[in-house]
A and B are shown apart, each in its own frame.
Chain A
Amino acid sequence: MSQATLEIRAISGHAGPVPGAGVKREFEVCKLIDTTTCIGCKACEVACLEWNGYTFSETTFDNSYQTMPETAWNYWNLIKFNEHERDDGSLMLLMRKDQCMHCEEPGCLAACPADGAIVQYTNGIVDFQQDHCIGCGYCITGCPFNIPKFSPQARKVFKCTLCVDRVSQGLEPACIKACPTGCLHFGTKPEMKEIAEQRATQLRDHSGFANAGVYDPPGIGGTHVVYVLHDATNPEAYGGLPKDPRIPLMVRLWKTPLKWLGNLAMIGGVVGLFVHYLRFGPKIVEEDDEKSQQERNR
């Protein structure tokens, strides 16, 4: 956003063409998560908590490395640990950093009824504006990734912002900053896709992961967080990453056909009743005392 306005148009006292003028900039940002080099150290979790001002949450134990079952309203970034048995019987410990995917077509935004509570920026970041949030939780229903979480204290919904406050100042998100293995990258969408594809090719050609690939699901127009997976044909193995995420069918039915049908029916009803009144008028009871008298004597 701010980068767009800081594009150079003219500079003073300069002979020849203005350096940088007319250069087409790529504004769509992207986070790349290479699950194949993640070591599950959780530094990104700590960095996220620190930058966003939350404290560490209580952990649970479920006989694995998993510290808590899913992200929370005050815990936006969580490594999902999954023990995965491969076809040849060997075991893999899959580690996936789970957070908001910043969909190109966000289900949360489609489902939200509150004016201005969810904003999608040109750079692709989907951000919740808690001062406009009414806490209805429709975004929770709209999200195909189980990301927005309701805070019972604030009675509003929270999620990862892709560190919009840092990114707008030209910094990379806090999680990227903290990663010690370099499995996290941040840059423009085309750049990240290119690096991701290179890495996937490397995995296929040299590391024996024949199904290695990039996760950038087209059902929601792609995401601004992409994964490199050892096995892109089985994203579910990575702690329930949906294979073909879409905005839920019922949300789409509600927001388009039902809305139009309902609006037409409501307007049609009002018009119909008005026309009925013009055509037939009211049912007026003739007050006939004599007749009533007869009724009484009957």
Chain B
Amino acid sequence: MSGSYLLPNGRILRYTFRERIVHWLAAVSYVYLLLTGLAFWSPWLFWIAVVLGGPTVSREVHDWAGLLFVSATFLMLRMWGSQMREAPGDKAWWRAMPHYIRNEDEAMPSADRFNPGQKLLFWGFFTCGILLLLSGLILWFTDLIPWNLRFLRYLAVILHPASALITIGLFMIHLYMGTAAERGAFGSVIRGDVSRSWALKHHRLWFEQILRNESARK
């Protein structure tokens, strides 16, 4: 957290270049995994694999894209792990959740750099990512599993889609909030900055900390 988060143009740096790169590494690989995964999930969606270069290509690249995605989530853990830890005010935030849903944000407890919902998103994706990796490796190398260890295959075949479905739920909410619902959020992960009012409204504790750091610097 070195360097100034107050930009010369009066805006606030929300995500550094490194954070944005890692985010989009995860995002692009996840969307590819989602689309090819859905193609193998239902015969009605098999056409997606055909569009994305053929089903055999989709099946082969899905594995490697999975490794890329899990690597990105581990980079996120390194960058954000400490900021994703549960804080004392988180329970109050969850209790005030109905206000958040109804866009009554003034009734919400102040959030730090990541609000408890974002923390849930991160840990949900991270945990499911590990489950998907483990079950995915079994499915990748199915032919190497000996017959007397076949329970591993049975485990993987149910665990992989089940944990993928959880990430799809998280992903839909994340995509909706990041693009449609929370105006200014998409710009923060593209250009990296947000307005002062945005920072104040959505991540007040984080914003105040930035201001404190800045006055200490002066």
The contact string, 1 if C-beta is below 8 Å from chain A, for chain B 145-176, is 00100100111111001100100110011001
Which residues of A have CB within 8 Å of B143?
Answer: 137, 140, 149-150, 152
Chain B's interface size range is 35 or more
Of residues 153 through 201 on chain B, the ones whose CB sits less than 8 Å from some CB of chain A are 153-158, 161-162, 165, 168-169, 172-173, 176, 180-184, 195-198, 200-201
Q: How far is the CA of A134 from the CA of B60 in the complex (A)?
A: 9
Q: Contact: B158 with A254, CB < 8 Å?
A: yes
The reply on A282 being an interface residue by CB < 8 A is yes
The reply on B211 being an interface residue by CB < 8 A is yes
Which residues of A have CB within 8 Å of B198?
Answer: 285
Q: How far is the CA of A298 from the CA of B161 in the complex (A)?
A: 51
The reply on A114 being an interface residue by CB < 8 A is yes
Q: Contact: B161 with A250, CB < 8 Å?
A: no
Q: Which of A138, A250, A266 contacts B158 (CB 8 A)?
A: A250
Which residues of B have CB within 8 Å of A137?
Answer: 139, 142-143
Q: Contact: A250 with B42, CB < 8 Å?
A: no
Q: How far is the CA of A276 from the CA of B176 in the complex (A)?
A: 10
Which residues of A have CB within 8 Å of B154?
Answer: 141, 248-251
Q: How far is the CA of A286 from the CA of B105 in the complex (A)?
A: 12
B196's nearest neighbour on chain A, judged by CB, is: A292
Chain A's interface size range is 35 or more
- Number of CB contacts from chain A to chain B under 8 A: 132
Q: Which of A263, A277, A298 contacts B211 (CB 8 A)?
A: A298
The contact string, 1 if C-beta is below 8 Å from chain B, for chain A 267-280, is 00110010011001
Q: Contact: B158 with A280, CB < 8 Å?
A: no
Q: Contact: B59 with A259, CB < 8 Å?
A: no
Q: How far is the CA of A284 from the CA of B195 in the complex (A)?
A: 12
Q: How far is the CA of A280 from the CA of B101 in the complex (A)?
A: 8
The reply on A258 being an interface residue by CB < 8 A is yes
The contact string, 1 if C-beta is below 8 Å from chain B, for chain A 240-272, is 100000001111011000110111011001100
The reply on A235 being an interface residue by CB < 8 A is no
Q: Contact: B41 with A134, CB < 8 Å?
A: no
Q: How far is the CA of A280 from the CA of B98 in the complex (A)?
A: 12
Which residues of A have CB within 8 Å of B49?
Answer: 134
Of residues 32 through 65 on chain B, the ones whose CB sits less than 8 Å from some CB of chain A are 39-43, 46, 49, 55-56, 58-60
24 CB-based A-B contacts, threshold 8 Å: A113-B39, A113-B46, A114-B46, A134-B49, A137-B139, A137-B142, A138-B142, A140-B142, A152-B143, A253-B158, A258-B165, A265-B169, A266-B168, A266-B172, A269-B173, A277-B181, A280-B101, A282-B182, A283-B183, A283-B202, A285-B184, A287-B197, A292-B195, A295-B196
